[in-house]
Each structure stands twice: as structure tokens, then as C-alpha cells.
């Protein structure tokens, strides 16, 4: 993308208070959580329209799709559960209880584990996708919000809004191996395709931090963002897209130069 190339936008009506979207590995469908509608909208990316709406329990927030595309997992904040959606039928196939105000979640690269930030319990819950059961929990700092796993599946990064920290979990031992401090309301988190960098938005700091996964330290900071919330990294690892609450925009960041090159207002 050239710095002066405008971003195109489309508006697709979904349910009330849409929160998070996740795309299937084949790129054909997008699953969107509707917090106030207690539902998930399924968008066909070819027609750019909603093809069905799936009812779930109250307060759906985070959503993640399994690597094989056969399941979508939805964190239901209001009912302390995770809804498991069969993407072939677009119906809820199971519900996993025992969580505590779940928000962000992610699936391990091999699809065997689901990691969920249980904000109310200040912990990360680990769910077996084979049995759809909660198998263990890892205590972390106050207010865990989002989670992201490295491509090799060995490390999990957790943003902790209440503790102003980012915790790193070793997924083999299921233990905390590092805690990074100095953030201001960290929220969004994403890992580069090569696993060398982790990107964290500071909702209260108006910036994007770049963490080196080898040293587990912040090595770069991109400033000038207006209350950044979510972040996603392109498949080639060259760009990051940051949703900004402050000016209702999406900023595009060049990850080679670590600078903002484009923004798209709503």
C-alpha cells in the first residue's frame, strides 16, 4: 500500500453493539459478536452480507476460529461460558462453563487448546477443544483483557488492563514466565506471523508497543494513536491495523518503519 492510497470501506449491518470479528482460515466467512443482541452474525465475504445470525447466551465478546475452520469459539461475558459453534451448521454445538467474566480468547496453532482471559477471576483459563472442558487456570494480574499465542504455540501474551502489564505464559508448563510493566491500560494484542514481535495497544497511552519475543521487552513504540483498542497484523507481517476509539478510525502502521501511514475514518 502506498502512503497516499485511500482505504476503501463497506458497512454491513449486524446486531446491536458489535464487538469482535474473526475470519475463517479460508477467508470465506466472518463471525461477529453482538454484545447487546446476545448473538453472532455470520458474514459471507463474497457477497459482503450477513447470511445467518446465531443466538448465544448473554454478553458475547471475544470470538476465535479454530485453525481447521470447523469451530468458532465465543466468550460469553454475561454467563461465564464459552459457546462452541459448529461452522458447518452455524449452530451452537456445546457450551463450556466455569469461566469468570471471559473477554478475549485464542486457539492454539494445533487447535487442541483454547485460551481465555477471565477478567473477573484475574486468570487465563485453558480449555480442551477435544472435550470442551476447562482443564486448568493460570493466575495473572488484575483485569486480563486479551490473549495472543505465538505461531509455534509456546508462548501466550496476556494484556492486563487493571495491572497495566503484559504477562507471558509458557504453554508447555502453563506457568507465568515474565511480566512486563509500564503500560497504560493495555488492551489489544497481536503476534507477527514469524513470532518475533508482539504488538500491544495502550488504550490509556495512545500508542502501540512492539515487544521482542526473544528478550520479552518493549523495543519500539508508535505514538499518535487516538485511544487505540484492537490491533491486527497482516499475513505478510508488514502492516498493523489499529482500531481507535478516540476518533472512530482505523490506523494503518508500517511495521518496518514503525510509523502510521494511513487512517480511515468512519
Q: Is it the case that residue 213 has pLDDT exceeding 70?
A: yes
Mean pLDDT of 252-256: 96
Mean pLDDT of 87-99: 98
pLDDT of 1: 35
Q: What is the pLDDT of residues 102-135, one digit of tens each?
A: 999 999 999 999 999 999 999 999 999 999 999 9
pLDDT of 43: 98
Assigned C-alpha cell, 211: 515487544
Q: Is it the case that residue 96 has pLDDT exceeding 70?
A: yes
Distance CA 112, CA 188 (A): 23
pLDDT of 2: 38
pLDDT of 3: 39
pLDDT of 264: 63
Q: What is the pLDDT of residues 182-206, one digit of tens each?
A: 999 999 999 999 999 999 999 999 9
At 266, the pLDDT band (50, 70, 90 cuts) reads: low
Distance CA 173, CA 246 (A): 39
Q: Is it the case that residue 263 has pLDDT exceeding 80?
A: no
Q: pTM for this structure?
A: 0.94
pLDDT of 10: 75
pLDDT of 5: 45
At 8, the pLDDT band (50, 70, 90 cuts) reads: low
Q: What is the pLDDT of residues 124-176, one digit of tens each?
A: 999 999 999 999 999 999 999 999 999 999 999 999 999 999 999 999 999 99
Q: What is the pLDDT of residues 21-63, one digit of tens each?
A: 999 999 999 999 999 999 999 999 999 999 999 999 999 999 9
Distance CA 7, CA 150 (A): 29
Specify the higher pLDDT residue, 179 or 7. 179
pLDDT of 120: 97
Amino acid at each position: 500500500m502506498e502512503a497516499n492510497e485511500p482505504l476503501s470501506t463497506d458497512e454491513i449491518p449486524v446486531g446491536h453493539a458489535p464487538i469482535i470479528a474473526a475470519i475463517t482460515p479460508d477467508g470465506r466467512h466472518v463471525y461477529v459478536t453482538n454484545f447487546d443482541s446476545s448473538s453472532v452474525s455470520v458474514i459471507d465475504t463474497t457477497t459482503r452480507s450477513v447470511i445467518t445470525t446465531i443466538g448465544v447466551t448473554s454478553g458475547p465478546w471475544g470470538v476465535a476460529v479454530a485453525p481447521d475452520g470447523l469451530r468458532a469459539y465465543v466468550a460469553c461475558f454475561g454467563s461465564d461460558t464459552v459457546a462452541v459453534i459448529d461452522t458447518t451448521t452455524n449452530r451452537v454445538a456445546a457450551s463450556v462453563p466455569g469461566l469468570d467474566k471471559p473477554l478475549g480468547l485464542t486457539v492454539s496453532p494445533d487447535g487442541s487448546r483454547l485460551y481465555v482471559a477471565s477478567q473477573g477471576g484475574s486468570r487465563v483459563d485453558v480449555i480442551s477443544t477435544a472435550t470442551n472442558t476447562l482443564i486448568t487456570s493460570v493466575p495473572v494480574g488484575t483485569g486480563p483483557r486479551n490473549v495472543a499465542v505465538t505461531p509455534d504455540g509456546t508462548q501466550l501474551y496476556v494484556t492486563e488492563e487493571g495491572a497495566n502489564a503484559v504477562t507471558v505464559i509458557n504453554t508447555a508448563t502453563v506457568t507465568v514466565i515474565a511480566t512486563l510493566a509500564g503500560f497504560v491500560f493495555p488492551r489489544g494484542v497481536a503476534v507477527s506471523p514469524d513470532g518475533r514481535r508482539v504488538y500491544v495497544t495502550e488504550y490509556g497511552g495512545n500508542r502501540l508497543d512492539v515487544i521482542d519475543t526473544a528478550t520479552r521487552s518493549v523495543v519500539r513504540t508508535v505514538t499518535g494513536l487516538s485511544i487505540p483498542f484492537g490491533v491486527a497484523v497482516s499475513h505478510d507481517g508488514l502492516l498493523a491495523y489499529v482500531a481507535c476509539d478516540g476518533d472512530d478510525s482505523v490506523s494503518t502502521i508500517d511495521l518496518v518503519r514503525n510509523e502510521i501511514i494511513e487512517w480511515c475514518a468512519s
